[in-house]
Structure 1
Amino acid sequence: MKRLLFFLLFTTGLLRATAQEKVSFDTAFQKANNGKARVEITPLKELLHIMLAITPTGLANDDMVDQSTPYYQDVLRHFKPFANEPIIKTFDSLLTASLYNYIFITGNAMTYDLSGTSLKRNAVYVFPSRQVANKTINVNPLDTYRTQIAEFAKTSKFQKFYAQHRAYYTKLINEYESEASLAKQWKWLETNFKTKINNYLILCSPLINGMNYTTVFRDKGFTQILMVLPPLEHDAKRSKIQDEIFNTRVMFTEIDHNYVGPPSYANEKVIDSVFKKRADWVNEKADGIYAYPTPMKVFNEYMTFGVFLLYCRDHYDRSLYDQTRQEVISVMGARGFTRMELFTSTLEKVRAYAPAKKIDDLYPELLRSLAQKAP
Structure 2
Amino acid sequence: MRVRTVFFLLIISGFMGSCVRNDDTPLVKAYFSEDYISEHKGRYVIEVPKVYELAHVVMAVKFQRQRSDYFIEKRTSYFQEVLDYFNDYNSSRIFSNYSYSESDYIENYAFRDNSYAYKMVNEEISLKETYTSISQYDIFKDFLDDVQAFSYESNFNDFYTAHAGFYENQIALYDAIIPVQDMWDWLENQFSARYDCYKIIISPLTGGSHSTRRFKTDTYKETLMFVPALNPEIHSMDTLNIAYNIRHVFTEIDHNYVNPVTEEFRDELKKAMGDLNNWKDEKPSNTVYSSHYMVFNEYMTWAVYDIYISERYPEHIASQIREITISKMEGDRGFIRFRSFEDSLIQIYTNKSPGENIEDLYPEILKAI
Q: How would you bin the TM-score normalised by the shorter chain? A: 0.7 to 0.9
Alpha carbons of structure 1 residues 234 and 337: separation in structure 2 relative to 1, 3 Å: farther
**Is the partner of 2:20 in helix, strand or coil?**
coil
The residue number in structure 1 matching 2:60 is 53
Runs of 5+ in structure 2 lacking a partner?
1-14
Aligned residues: 352
How far residue 291 of structure 1 moved from its aligned partner, in angstroms, is 4.1
The 5-angstrom pairing of residues 57-206 of structure 1 reads 57=63, 59-60=65-66, 62-63=68-69, 64-90=71-97, 92-93=98-99, 100-131=106-137, 140-141=141-142, 144-145=144-145, 149-206=147-204
For residue 290 of structure 1, report the CA deviation from its aligned partner: 4.2
Judging changes above 3 Å, is the alpha-carbon distance between structure 1 residues 238 and 140 closer, same or farther for their aligned structure 2 residues? closer
User: Secondary structure, in 3 states, of the residue corresponding to 2:267?
Assistant: helix
For 1:307 and 1:295, the matched residues in 2 are separated by 18
Q: Out of 171-180 and 358-367, give the one that drifted further.
A: 358-367
User: In the alignment, is the contact (CA less than 8 A) between 2:51 and 2:118 conserved in 1?
Assistant: yes
Q: TM-score, normalised by structure 2?
A: 0.83
TM-aligned CA distance change 1:288 to 1:42, over 3 Å = closer
Residue 31 of structure 1 aligns with which residue? 38
Cα offsets for 1:250-285 (capped at 9, x unmatched):
221122111112222223333222211546x53536
Q: CA distance change for structure 1 residues 291 and 121 in 2, over 3 Å: closer, same or farther?
A: closer
Aligned equivalents of 1:237 and 1:51: distance in 2?
24
Aligned to 2:251: 253
Counterpart in the other structure of 2:6: none
Max Rg structure? 1
2:358 aligns with: 359
1:89 to 1:194, Cα distance in 2 relative to 1, 3 A: same
**Alignment partner, residue 225 of structure 2:** 227
**d(CA) in 1 for partners of 2:237, 2:85:** 35
Task: Give the structure 1 partner of residue 319 of structure 2.
Answer: 322
Question: Residue type matched to 2:92 in 1?
Answer: E
SS in 2 for 1:140: helix
SS in 2 for 1:54: helix
CA distance in 1, matches of 2:272, 2:253: 25
User: In 1, Cα distance between the equivalents of 2:317 and 2:198?
Assistant: 28
Q: Normalising by the residue count of structure 1, what TM-score does the alignment of the two structures yield? A: 0.82
How far 1:58 moved relative to its partner? 5.1
Deviation track 1:64-120 (CA, whole Å, cap 9, x = no partner) reads 332222112211222211222334433x34669966443444333334322332335
Query: Aligned-pair distance for 1:40?
Result: 1.0
In the other structure, the counterpart of 2:308 is 311
Q: CA offset at residue 292 of structure 1?
A: 3.7
CA distance 1:283–1:50, shift in 2 (3 Å): closer
Q: For the residues of structure 2 that align with 1:359 and 1:261, how far apart are their CA atoms?
A: 13
Counterpart contact for 2:247–2:305, Cα < 8 Å: yes
Residue 189 of structure 1 deviates from its aligned partner by 0.2
Rounded Cα–Cα distance in structure 2 between residues aligned with 1:243 and 1:269: 38
SS where residue 214 of structure 1 aligns?
strand
SS in 2 for 1:39: strand
Closer/same/farther in 2, CA of residues 277 and 74 from structure 1, 3 Å limit = closer
Query: What residue number does 1:299 align with?
Result: 296
**C-alpha RMSD of matched pairs (Å):** 3.1
Instruction: Please give the alpha-carbon distance, in whole angstroms, between the structure 1 residues aligned to 2:366 and 2:103.
Output: 43
Identity of aligned residues (%): 26
Higher helix share: 1
Matching of residues 266-281 of structure 1 within 5 Å: 266-278=264-276, 281=278
Structure 1 runs not aligned, ≥5 long? none
Moved more, 119-128 or 72-81: 119-128
Using the TM superposition, name which of 328-337 and 254-263 deviates more: 328-337
Q: 1:53 is aligned with what amino acid?
A: A
CA contact (8 A) 1:25 1:220 kept: no
Contact 2:20-2:210 within 8 A present in 1 as well: no
Structure 1 Cα separation of the partners of residues 335 and 102 of structure 2: 33
Q: Distance in 2 between matches of 1:12 and 1:122?
A: 23
Kindly indicate whether the alpha-carbon contact (under 8 Å) linking 1:235 and 1:243 is maintained by their aligned counterparts in 2: no
